[in-house]
């Protein structure tokens, strides 16, 4: 990636060769506490490390002497065709990474022809996302809170904004221990304490955007609390069961995905309840440390879920080759989170565009080198996980 004073930040974003380049740019632009909020995970961060490392164990078995002059990446998910098997996953406090926040991510997803999922903990309303990307396929992610009436109000807002896919996250009965955030004393919005003053000197562009932009606040839940874990434990309901999921199913008219599945038997029970899809996910390692590694668990969940329930993978995806490996192992598509947040921190909307362009180019190249021809040609005969 080019360096030196003659290269503007926009030029460096455009020249990024992979997501790791954008991660480095993000670390330079954003204050440490903001970067670490994205980059970090729970406790010793073993779940995060293992999720990423699982893709390093992937070994491809390419076919040769196949016509790969064309390598289509489009795939059908939940009855609708998208440009590639990628979903931009839900992330909280997105305008903390860049002032353009969720609106920028939704616009980039719309241009790329992939879905975008707005988080309950987002900093833009469902209506705001719909206005920013009216032709995009916008989904909504739900945390079930203690106040069931508020949950119904949230579902109504999402539906009124045209969102027809609901992603219910079920792996946050209580807040995980994200120690980087604890050590930084992270608040939303970030506060300019004495450490913050030093960070402002080192990252003036981010602080200028933050101080001159729209005030940062939660758009679906009220307020901007001092204690993030405290908000989670106050609002989210640790008593949620499969019965509550049936209640949500009855209240929501669109497609329903359940995110946070970490056991094959849970996937089987969810499929029996009639959910449209399950997302194999350990919340990016941000909740229970030492939890299941999504890529390793994927084949068992695919087998348990059966043919009528679509299975998605979330966790550790950093490249188009990762996407190809997950799809070959049975995923319908991959949720991507940190990767696009690195792009957003590094270069705003253009950074998200760059991440999506990289993922597609890497996916096309991998399909061609695998002799798969296209996404539809991916299968378990093309990939295996090497022994640890």
- Mean pLDDT throughout 90-108? 94
Q: Rounded CA gap, 319 and 351, in Å? A: 15
Q: Which ranges constitute the DSSP H helices of 98-221?
A: 101-112, 126-132, 148-160, 179-184, 194-202, 204-212
pLDDT band at 91 (very low <50, low <70, confident <90, very high): very high
Beta strands 255-261 and 277-280, pairing class: parallel
Q: Rounded CA gap, 365 and 135, in Å? A: 28
Indicate whether 9 pLDDT > 90: no
Comparing CA positions, the residue from 352, 348, 357 lying closest to residue 339 is: 352
Comparing CA positions, the residue from 8, 11, 13 lying closest to residue 344 is: 13
Cβ(216)–Cβ(188) below 8 Å: yes
Q: What is the pLDDT of residues 218-234, one digit of tens each?
A: 777 665 445 555 556 55
Q: What is the pLDDT of residues 251-302, one digit of tens each?
A: 999 999 999 999 999 999 999 999 999 999 999 999 999 999 999 999 999 9
Indicate whether 364 pLDDT > 50: yes
Res 3: pLDDT: 59
Neighbouring C-beta atoms of residue 183, cutoff 10 Å: 11
- Mean pLDDT throughout 14-18? 95
Indicate whether 128 pLDDT > 90: yes
- Ranges 94-98, 161-165, 331-335: which has the least confidence: 94-98
Res 193: pLDDT: 56
Beta strands 165-169 and 383-385, pairing class: unpaired
List, as own/partner pairs, every contact residues 211-214 make where C-beta atoms lie below 8 angstroms and the sequence separation is at least 24, other chains included. Answer: 213/95, 213/99, 214/95, 214/99
Q: What is the pLDDT of residues 188-210, one digit of tens each?
A: 666 655 455 566 567 777 777 77
Cβ(117)–Cβ(94) below 8 Å: no
pLDDT more than 90, % of the chain? 73
Q: Rounded CA gap, 364 and 382, in Å? A: 15
Indicate whether 212 pLDDT > 70: yes
Res 334: pLDDT: 98
Indicate whether 360 pLDDT > 50: yes
pTM of this structure: 0.92
- Mean pLDDT throughout 368-382? 96
Helices 338-370, 101-112: crossing angle, 10 deg rounding: 20
Q: CA torsion angle for 183, 47, 361, 385 (degrees, to 10)?
A: 160
Res 224: pLDDT: 43
Average pLDDT, the chain: 90
Q: Rounded CA gap, 254 and 139, in Å? A: 10
Res 266: pLDDT: 97
DSSP 290-320: TPPPHHHHHHHHHHHH-TTSEEEEESS--SH
User: Catalytic residue numbers?
Assistant: 283
- Mean pLDDT throughout 24-29? 94
Cα 159 to Cα 108, 279, 372, distances in angstroms: 22, 21, 38
Helices 46-56, 320-328: crossing angle, 10 deg rounding: 80
DSSP 72-95: ---EEETTEEESSSEEE---TTGG
Res 194: pLDDT: 45
Res 325: pLDDT: 98
Question: Two tokens at 169?
Answer: 């996250």
Q: Rounded CA gap, 333 and 313, in Å? A: 7
Res 184: pLDDT: 77
Neighbouring C-beta atoms of residue 298, cutoff 10 Å: 23
- Mean pLDDT throughout 166-191? 81
- Mean pLDDT throughout 66-82? 96
Res 221: pLDDT: 67
Question: Two tokens at 327?
Answer: 């799809």
- Mean pLDDT throughout 110-114? 98
Cβ(58)–Cβ(364) below 8 Å: no
**Between 85 and 207, the higher pLDDT residue:** 85
Geometric angle at alpha carbon 355, from 353 and 360, rounded to 5°: 95
Cβ(343)–Cβ(386) below 8 Å: no
Res 186: pLDDT: 76
pLDDT more than 70, % of the chain? 90
């Amino acid at each position: 990636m080019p360096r030196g004073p003659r290269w503007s930040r926009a030029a460096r974003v455009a020249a990024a060769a992979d997501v790791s380049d954008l991660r480095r740019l993000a670390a330079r632009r954003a204050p440490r506490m903001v970067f670490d909020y994205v980059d970090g995970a729970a406790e010793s961060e073993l779940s995060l490390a293992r999720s990423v490392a699982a893709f390093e164990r992937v070994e491809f078995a390419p076919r040769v002497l196949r016509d790969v002059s064309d390598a289509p990446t489009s795939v059908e998910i939940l009855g609708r065709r998208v440009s590639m098997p990628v979903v931009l996953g839900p992330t909280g406090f997105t305008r903390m990474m860049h002032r353009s926040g969720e609106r920028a991510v939704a616009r980039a997803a719309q241009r790329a022809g992939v879905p975008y999922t707005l988080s309950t903990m987002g900093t833009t309303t469902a209506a705001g996302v719909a206005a920013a990307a009216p032709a995009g396929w916008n989904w909504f992610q739900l945390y079930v809170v203690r106040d069931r009436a508020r949950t119904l109000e949230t579902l109504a807002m999402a539906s009124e904004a045209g969102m027809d896919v609901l992603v219910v996250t079920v792996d946050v009965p209580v807040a995980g221990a994200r120690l980087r955030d604890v050590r930084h004393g992270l608040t939303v919005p970030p506060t300019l304490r004495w450490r913050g003053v030093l960070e402002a000197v080192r990252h003036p562009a981010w602080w200028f955007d933050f101080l001159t932009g729209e005030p940062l606040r939660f758009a679906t839940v009220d307020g901007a609390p001092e204690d993030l874990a405290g908000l989670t434990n106050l609002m989210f309901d640790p008593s949620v069961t499969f019965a509550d999921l049936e209640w949500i199913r009855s209240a929501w008219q669109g497609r329903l995905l359940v995110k946070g599945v970490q056991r094959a038997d849970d996937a089987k029970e969810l499929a029996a309840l009639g959910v449209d899809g399950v997302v194999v996910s350990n919340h990016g390692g941000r909740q229970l440390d030492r939890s299941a590694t999504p890529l390793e668990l994927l084949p068992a969940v695919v087998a348990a879920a059966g043919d009528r329930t679509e299975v998605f993978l979330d966790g550790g995806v950093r490249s188009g080759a990762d996407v190809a490996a997950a799809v070959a192992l049975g995923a319908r598509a991959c949720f991507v989170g940190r990767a696009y947040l690195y792009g957003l921190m590094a270069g705003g909307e253009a950074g998200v565009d760059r991440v999506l362009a990289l993922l597609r180019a890497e996916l096309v190249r991998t399909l061609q080198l695998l002799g798969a021809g296209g996404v539809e040609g991916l299968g378990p005969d093309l990939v295996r996980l090497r022994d640890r």
